[in-house]
Structure 1
């Protein structure tokens, strides 16, 4: 069976080759001759180039190759344990979501930002004007204060903002920008999350004036306290009531109220290196409760103890699957 990356198929044998090269590159004694061989392999065909892009994506997501898969621990060049590890790694490459093809492969967005958080990390900071910002997991922002504005550029991720009155007499506007538009705070507390091609805004206090890019020709929208919306660069979504748990993450909690298990795990995965999946047979199981995001393993244990599911870990816990009990 072939796998897909966007619209391009990748042969499983080539994915296994990519898995082997990924393991070999993790070795401390990987030499220049081997590096030249790897480079020749990588550029020898478009399909191998795409397979290696998936390998890089996996390595970025995991924060490095798990030690249990390092070649030095597997008695290179060949044994049954090594073959099993290669098969597992190739399988993971095969099932990586195709939509992740543009997912921060080199993470340049994060590493050139003024402030950032890693996966599972939160960060609170006070700006020069006294405004407070909390960065959620895997978030990157730029801060630009000048004579005319107080601007936060949200490159990716999610923030909670509590604005303060400007310290300068001219009362510069407080702005948050994403790729989809610009929000002006009107003395307020709010959350902003950029997710795929949309921005999600929830206003807890005050109000926010939202403008889309000028070429959209859409009038600005005022979002008041207790309202939330999402928008693309072309259009606004509907105004809805704010979920009371929208900022629970800033207190280290993930709240669920009759949420599908599959959706809950997708949210939990934001706070955990690696991958969390569930069997399709329990995807619609409804979850409720308050769960810690600072200890995702504890959250998984709580699910197992409360609901008819079992959790199976692979690759030293980097890959977790929930199945029916």
Structure 2
């Protein structure tokens, strides 16, 4: 008979599978959070499964790209290789049963990050140099695949956020123009410096220098974003949006630079870099914050807030932090 801890691990695995299958379902996210908060043992099981999932991703990534096996078989083999870890064994079996059928044929699903060429864990970022000398950076919890060949040079952003500082066209090299693809459309990445973030409501594009032509999957013609602009790309349109109250490129230096930013937006951004739950009282949401904050240690970052705002930090558990008005 399964122990109480094994039952909780299975529940945590099922929550994770459902969240991965339906990443934009806010009600499901809230239901999962309620389950985690119900008892400290639930949160412990959740964190154990999250850790095991990260290890599973690493093992799947090690499989050669050309291996002709289905994703379900791949997960089963990966879990088997890690069967000494009870949670991973359970995880692989449940993933095999719970993975949606659409995952087998659809190019852009949450599961594709398991086969990413490059990915970053929560709270970390990475840099790499492409074949033409262009610089690509991945922000926290991001995943990309590279499709470089005689007919295309494509960066597939499956998850998270990247920054690309691309070189101009190089005649005579035989290289195809560099492009970025998200689930919403494609962007021309030649001779510009810009960031691309995959969001639930579309693809956010911030252009620092140069210009970026972009085209949604259902758009008849591309739209070009000029330097200093922000756009939201969806399959049917590309529209300019107001600049966020922060430096969109500061994360490449490990910083969050706020510019008269609503505190709720600031805390939502900080939450992208730390595990667990970070929430705040409604009465402090509209407070404004400015300054430069280091992302390498979000606990220290949050501890600084009471020095500049009338707030206090409450740590309910290691993975549940609340910011509220100062008493």
Partner of 1:224: 226
Q: 1:321 and 1:244 mapped to 2: Cα distance?
A: 22
Q: Offset of 1:262 from its aligned partner?
A: 1.1
Q: Offset of 1:109 from its aligned partner?
A: 3.2
Q: 1:211 and 1:162 mapped to 2: Cα distance?
A: 20
Alignment match of 1:123 (pick from 112, 118, 126): 126
Q: Offset of 1:118 from its aligned partner?
A: 0.7
1:173-223 CA deviation, whole Å, 9 max, x = no partner? Answer: 11000000100123111111111130011111221111111xx24421111
Partner of 2:311: 309
Alignment match of 2:274 (pick from 269, 272, 275): 272
Larger Cα-atom Rg: 1
Q: 1:250 and 1:26 mapped to 2: Cα distance?
A: 41
Query: Using a 3 Å threshold, how does the CA distance of structure 1 residues 56 and 138 change in structure 2: closer, same or farther?
Result: farther
Query: Using a 3 Å threshold, how does the CA distance of structure 1 residues 178 and 288 change in structure 2: closer, same or farther?
Result: same
- The runs of 5 or more residues in structure 1 that have no matched partner are 1-20, 40-49, 68-101
Query: Using a 3 Å threshold, how does the CA distance of structure 1 residues 259 and 118 change in structure 2: closer, same or farther?
Result: same
Q: Offset of 1:153 from its aligned partner?
A: 0.3
**SS of corresponding position for 2:160:** strand
Q: 1:24 and 1:245 mapped to 2: Cα distance?
A: 44
Task: Note if 1:132 corresponds to 2:135.
Answer: yes
CA contact (8 A) 1:162 1:189 kept: yes
CA contact (8 A) 2:258 2:291 kept: yes
Q: Say what the alpha-carbon RMSD is for the aligned residues.
A: 3.6
Q: Offset of 1:288 from its aligned partner?
A: 1.2
TM-score (norm 2): 0.67
CA contact (8 A) 2:110 2:159 kept: no
TM-score (norm 1): 0.67
1:147-192 CA deviation, whole Å, 9 max, x = no partner? Answer: 1221100001000101135676334111000000100123111111
Q: 2:284 and 2:130 mapped to 1: Cα distance?
A: 45
Match runs of 1:107-256 below 5 Å: 108-165=111-168, 169-213=173-217, 216-238=218-240, 245-256=247-258
Q: 1:145 and 1:300 mapped to 2: Cα distance?
A: 41
- The runs of 5 or more residues in structure 2 that have no matched partner are 15-27, 37-42, 52-99, 101-108
Query: Using a 3 Å threshold, how does the CA distance of structure 1 residues 124 and 188 change in structure 2: closer, same or farther?
Result: same
